[in-house]
Amino acid sequence: MTGGVAAYKACEVARELMRADVRVKVVMTAAAQRFVTPLTFRTLTGEPVAVSLWDDPSQRVHHISLAEEADVVVIVPCTANVIAKMAHGRADDILMTTLLATEAPVIIAPAMNTHMWRKGITQANVTTLRERGVLFVEPGTGELACGDTGEGRLATVSEIVDATLAALRRVRSLEGVRLLVTAGPTREPIDPVRFVGNRSSGRQGYAVAEEATRRGADVTLVSGPVSLSAPFGVRCVRVETAAEMRDAVMAAYPAADAVVMTAAVADLRPAAPAADKLKKDAAPDLLSLERTDDILAGLGADKGDRVLVGFAAETGDVVGYARGKLTAKNLDLVVANDVSEPGVGFDSTVNRVVFVNANGEEHMPVMDKRVVASAVLDRLAILLKER
C-alpha cells in the first residue's frame, strides 16, 4: 500500500480477498501510514504489517521472506512515485526492496491526479513495467479527490480483487504438470572447430521453463548451446547437436504431460564432418548437407493424450506456414514469429508472435519474452484442462 487518498479502499480489498480464502499480508510505505494506520491492517488480516526495513520480525531478512512467500503482490493504491521507482529499480524502503526481490506476479492499481496519470513520463514508466510483465488494473474516470474530473481514479474494489484472484489461479495453473521444454540452437559440426548453426539465444525457451516452474510444473529443459544459466528449480539437460537433442527429448518424453518446443533445431547438417580442423587451402568449395530428424514430427506421431506446442520462426507467410506445421505435426498450438522483423525474435529480449490453433489465430503485440512465455503457458493450461 502506498500513500494516496484512495488508501482507505485497500482495507476493503484486503477484506474481500480474505473472504475468498486468501491469506493477506500488508506492506505499507511511510506515506501510506499517514492515511491508514498499520493497526487497521493488523486487525483486519491477523498478520504483522511491514512498515520499515528496520522492523524486527521473527523472519530472517524481512523483505526477502515477504518476497519469497508471496504468490501475488498487488499494490493498491499505487502512486506515480512508486511506479517511477519500480521502473528504475529503486530499493529504498520495505516495499521497493520486496518488489525488487520477488519472483511473484505484480499487479498495480494506480491512483493519482489525471494530469499526473497522463504525463508522458508516467505513461513511459507504465509502458516499461507492462513490457516487464507487470499487470495493471486500469484507473477509472470520474471525480477525483482534488476536485478535478478525469482519468486516475482508483479502480473499483471488485476489479482489483478479480484481477488478484485471476493471478492467483494462474500462479498454480500448472501444479503437478510434467513439462518438457526445449530451447536454443543446435550446432552441427563441419569439423572440430566450425559448425552450422543459427542465431537463437534460447531466451524464449528459458523464459517458458522459468515461468512454468513458478506455476508449479515439474520442468525438464533440454537446451542447446547458450550463454544462459539454468533457471532455478528446473532440470536442465545440455546438448549440442540435433541428434543429441532428439535423444534427450525422447528420453524425457514418456513421462511428459506436455511439450513446449521452442528450440531452433537445425534442419540440415554436414553429411561428413571432418575429423580434424580443415585448413584454408584444403577446405572444400561445396559443403554436402543431409537432413536431420524432425523431432517435433516424431513427438506428434506418438502424441497420446499429451499437449504439444511448437514454435515456427519464419521470414514470410508466417500464419500459412504455422498452420501447415500445426496439421502436419499433429500439434495443439503453434507460436509463430517473423524473424526477419528488425529487433524482435532471434537474439532479442522481445518477440512478436502469432498463436495459431485449430480455431484460428491470435496476433500479439511486441512483448518481452517473459510476457510471451506467460501468454504461452496461459494457453497451455487451458489445453491441458480440455484433455
Segment 217-250, tens digit of pLDDT: 999 999 999 999 998 889 999 999 999 999 999 9
Q: How far apart are CA 292 and CA 267, in angstroms?
A: 5
Interhelix angle for 203-214 vs 369-386, to 10°?
50
Contact 257, 218 (CB under 8 A): no
Question: Does residue 161 sit in the same domain as residue 287?
Answer: no
Q: How many percent of the chain have pLDDT more than 90?
A: 79
Q: Do residues 142 and 199 share a domain?
A: no
CB 179 within 8 A of CB 234: no
Final residue of a structural domain among 148, 171, 194: 171
Question: Whole-angstrom Cα distance, residue 355 to residue 323?
Answer: 10
State the average pLDDT over residues 372-376.
95
| Contact (CB, 8 A) for 188 and 268 | yes
Among 216, 219, 229, which residue's Cα sits nearest to residue 260?
Answer: 219
State residue 57's pLDDT score. Answer: 57
Give the per-residue pLDDT at 265. 95
CATH number for position 313: 3.40.50.10300
| CA 255 – CA 248 distance, rounded (Å) | 12
Instruction: Give the span between the Cα atoms of 73 and 55, in whole angstroms.
Output: 20
Same domain, 187 and 144: no
Residue 339 has φ and ψ, to the nearest 5°, of -80, -5
Residue 43 CA: distances (Å) to CA of 40, 161, 207, 363, 387: 5, 20, 39, 47, 44
Q: Is 146 part of the annotated catalytic residue set?
A: yes
pLDDT of 305-352, one tens digit each? 999 999 999 998 999 999 999 999 999 999 999 988 888 878 888 999
Q: What is the pLDDT of residue 7?
A: 93
Q: Are 157 and 187 contained in the same domain?
A: no
Instruction: Based on the fold, state whether residues 102 and 182 are members of the same structural domain.
Output: no
Co-location of 199 and 90 in the same domain: no
Do residues 339 and 314 lie in contact, with contact meaning Cβ atoms separated by under 8 Å?
A: yes
Strand partners, 107: 74, 135
Q: Are residues 111 and 212 in the same domain?
A: no
Is residue 119 located within the same domain as residue 267?
Answer: no
Identify the band that residue 65 occupies on the pLDDT scale cut at 50, 70 and 90: confident
* Burial environment of residue 54 by CB neighbours within 10 A (0 to 12, 13 to 18, 19 or more): exposed
Please identify, among 127, 150, 171, the residue that sits at the C-terminal boundary of a domain. Answer: 171
The band of 280, judged by pLDDT with boundaries at 50, 70 and 90, is confident
Q: Which of 299, 319, 301 lies closest to 309 in space, CA to CA? A: 299
- The SS3 of residue 354 is strand
Of 11, 78, 146, 236, the catalytic one is 146
CATH at 92: 3.40.50.1950
- Share the mean pLDDT of the chain: 93
Report how many domains make up the chain: 2
Residues 211 and 243 in one domain: yes
pLDDT of residue 59: 57
What is the helix, strand, coil percentage profile of the chain, to 5? 40, 20, 40
- pLDDT at position 67: 87
Residue 226 in contact with residue 197, Cβ under 8 Å? no
Residue 79 has pLDDT above 80, yes or no: yes
Q: What is the end-to-end Cα distance of the chain in Å, rounded?
A: 41
Q: What does the pLDDT read at residue 145?
A: 72
249 and 190, same structural domain?
yes
Range of the domain at 140: 5-171
Q: In this structure, are strands 73-78 and 106-110 parallel, antiparallel, or unpaired?
A: parallel
Which residues, at least 6 apart from 112, have a Cβ–Cβ distance to it below 8 Å? Answer: 4, 79, 80, 122, 139, 152
Beta strands in 43-136 (DSSP E): 73-78, 106-110, 135-136
- Nearest CA to 220 out of 254, 186, 187 is that of 254
Question: Residue 75 — φ and ψ, nearest 5°?
Answer: -105, 115
CA distance 182 to 185: 10
Q: Reply yes or no on whether the pLDDT at 62 is more than 80.
A: no
pLDDT at 146 over 80: no
Q: Residue 258: which pLDDT band, with cuts at 50, 70 and 90?
A: very high
Among 59-63, 147-151, 186-190, the range of highest mean pLDDT: 186-190
Say whether both 54 and 93 belong to one domain: yes
Domain stops at, among 171, 188, 213: 171
Average pLDDT over residues 239-267: 97
Mean pLDDT of 167-178: 92
| pLDDT given at position 354 | 96
**CA pair distance 358, 132, nearest whole angstrom:** 30
Residues 207 and 135 both lie in one domain: no
The per-residue pLDDT for 60 is 65
Is the Cβ–Cβ distance between 28 and 8 less than 8 Å?
A: no
